[in-house]
C-alpha cells in the first residue's frame, strides 16, 4: 500500500499494462462527487473544513472525505491524471475535459425521488450533462477525436445507497407502495435504464459499484440501534438488503456482459461490500482504531453541514474507517481501491 500511495503521488508513468485508456467518466452520488454540488443549490455540500483536511494544500473541494476519493486513485493508477474534477467546474480547460470528469452529485440515487429529496443532480440529468460534454468536445476537437476518446474511456457508476438509507428506510413514501424486494427491483430497473443510456452514448468499458454494508454506516447504527452509545454493532437487516440487491445487480451485469461481449463490451461489477465488512468486522479491522463512528464531531450523526468548521475533528483520520457518519476516509478508499484492483485491471487491459 505504501508503494501504491507513493506511486499515486509521483509520476503517472509507466501505465499499468501500457493501457490505452483515454479518459474516465463517473456517475453517481457522494462516494464519487468531487464537487459538483458546489454549483447546485443544495445543503448537500462538502466544500468547507474539515472536509479536505488531508487533501492537497488542505483544500475542501467538495469531496465528502478528508482526502482523495477512490475515483481519484483509479485515474491516477490508470495514468490519466492525479484527480478527477467535477464537470460543473467552470474553469476546466478542454485538455482537462478530454481526460475525463465526474458528473456525480452527493445525495443522488437511481430512484427519481431520491435526488428530489436533497435538491441534487439526478442520474438522467447527469447523463444529459454527459451529452452536453460530448457536444462541447466535438466543437473543440471534432467528431472523430471525440468518438475515439469515448470508445477507449472507462465509465464508473457508484450509486444506490441513498435510495435505501435516505429514501426507503427513512421516509414513508416508498414504503407505502413497495415491499423491500419490490423496491430492490424498482431501483434495479432504474439502474438498467442508466446503463442502457450510457451504452447508447458509446460507453463500452463500464464498472458498476455495488452497495456497501449499509447497516455498518455510523449514522445508520445511531438511528437503528437499540443502544446507539453502547451497541455500535452493524444493523444486519439493512446490510442484508444491500447484499440481496448486490446479487441481483451482479446477475444483471453478467447477463448484459454475455449479450454484448461480441460488441467489445466490458461490463463488470465492483464489490465494495465484502472488503468493507472485512475492514469493519473481519481481520481488516485491526488496521483501524475506530470502525463504528466517524472522525468528525461525535461521529454518530454528523455529515454534510453538520460536519463543519466548528466540529471537533480527530487528529489522525487514517485511524478511522469513516470520516463523517456516512463517508469513508481516504485510507478506507485506498483499501477499497486495492481490493478492486483485479477488476480495474481487467477493465483497462485489451
Does the annotation mark 190 as catalytic?
A: no
Secondary structure of the chain in the HEC alphabet? Answer: CHHHHHHHHCCCCCCHHHCCCCCEEEEECCCCCCCHHHHCCCCCCCCCCCCCCCCHHHCCCCCCCCCCCHHHHHHHHHCCCCCCCECCCCCCCHHHHHCEEECCCCCCCCCCHHHHHHCCCCHHHHHHHHHHHHHHHHHHHCHHHHHHHHHCCEEEEECCHHHHHHHHCCCCHHHHHCCHHHHHHHHHHHHHHHHHHHHHCCCCEEEEECCCCHHHCHHHHHHHCCCCCCCCCCCHHHHHHHHHHHHHHHHHHHHHHHHHHHHCCEEEEECCHHHHHHHHHCHHHHHCCECCCCCECCCCCCCHHHCCCCCCECCCHHHECECCCCCECHHHHHHHHHHHHHHHHHHHCC
- In the set 29, 30, 105, 122, the catalytic residue is 30
Catalytic site residue from 111, 163, 324, 340: 324
Check if 119 is active-site.
no
Given 111, 225, 327, 340, which residue is catalytic?
327
Asked if 327 is an active-site residue, the reply is yes
The residues that are catalytic are 30, 324, 327
Amino acid at each position: 500500500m505504501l508503494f501504491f500511495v507513493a506511486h499515486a503521488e509521483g509520476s503517472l508513468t509507466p501505465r499499468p499494462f501500457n493501457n490505452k485508456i483515454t479518459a474516465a467518466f463517473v456517475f453517481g452520488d457522494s462516494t464519487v462527487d468531487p464537487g459538483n454540488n458546489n454549483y447546485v443549490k443544495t445543503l448537500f455540500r462538502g466544500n468547507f473544513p474539515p472536509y479536505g483536511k488531508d487533501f492537497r494544500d488542505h483544500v475542501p473541494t467538495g469531496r465528502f472525505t478528508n482526502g482523495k476519493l477512490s475515483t481519484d486513485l483509479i485515474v491516477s493508477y490508470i495514468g490519466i491524471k492525479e484527480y478527477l474534477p467535477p464537470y460543473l467546474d467552470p474553469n476546466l480547460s478542454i485538455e482537462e475535459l478530454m481526460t475525463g470528469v465526474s458528473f456525480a452529485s452527493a445525495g443522488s440515487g437511481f430512484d427519481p425521488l431520491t435526488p428530489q429529496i436533497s435538491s441534487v443532480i439526478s442520474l438522467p440529468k447527469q447523463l444529459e450533462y454527459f451529452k452536453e460534454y460530448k457536444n462541447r468536445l466535438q466543437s473543440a476537437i471534432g467528431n472523430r477525436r471525440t468518438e475515439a476518446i469515448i470508445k477507449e474511456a472507462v465509465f464508473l457508476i457508484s450509486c444506490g445507497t441513498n435510495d435505501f438509507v435516505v429514501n426507503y428506510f427513512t421516509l414513508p413514501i416508498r414504503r407505502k407502495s413497495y415491499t423491500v424486494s419490490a423496491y430492490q427491483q424498482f431501483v434495479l430497473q432504474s439502474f438498467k435504464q442508466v446503463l442502457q443510456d450510457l451504452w447508447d452514448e458509446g460507453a463500452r468499458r463500464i464498472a458498476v459499484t455495488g452497495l456497501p454494508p449499509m447497516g455498518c454506516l455510523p449514522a445508520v447504527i445511531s438511528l437503528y440501534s437499540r443502544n446507539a452509545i453502547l451497541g455500535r454493532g452493524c444493523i444486519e437487516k439493512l446490510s442484508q438488503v444491500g447484499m440481496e440487491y448486490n446479487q441481483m445487480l451482479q446477475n444483471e451485469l453478467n447477463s448484459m456482459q454475455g449479450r454484448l461481449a461480441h460488441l467489445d463490451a466490458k461490463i463488470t461489477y465492483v464489490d465494495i461490500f465484502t472488503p468493507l465488512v472485512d475492514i469493519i468486522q473481519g481481520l481488516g479491522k485491526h488496521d483501524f482504531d475506530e470502525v463504528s463512528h466517524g472522525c468528525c464531531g461525535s461521529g454518530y450523526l454528523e455529515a454534510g453541514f453538520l460536519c463543519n468548521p466548528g466540529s471537533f475533528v480527530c487528529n489522525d483520520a487514517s485511524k478511522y474507517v469513516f470520516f463523517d457518519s456516512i463517508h469513508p476516509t481516504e485510507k478506507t478508499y485506498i483499501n477499497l481501491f486495492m481490493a478492486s484492483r483485479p477488476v480495474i485491471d481487467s477493465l483497462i487491459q485489451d
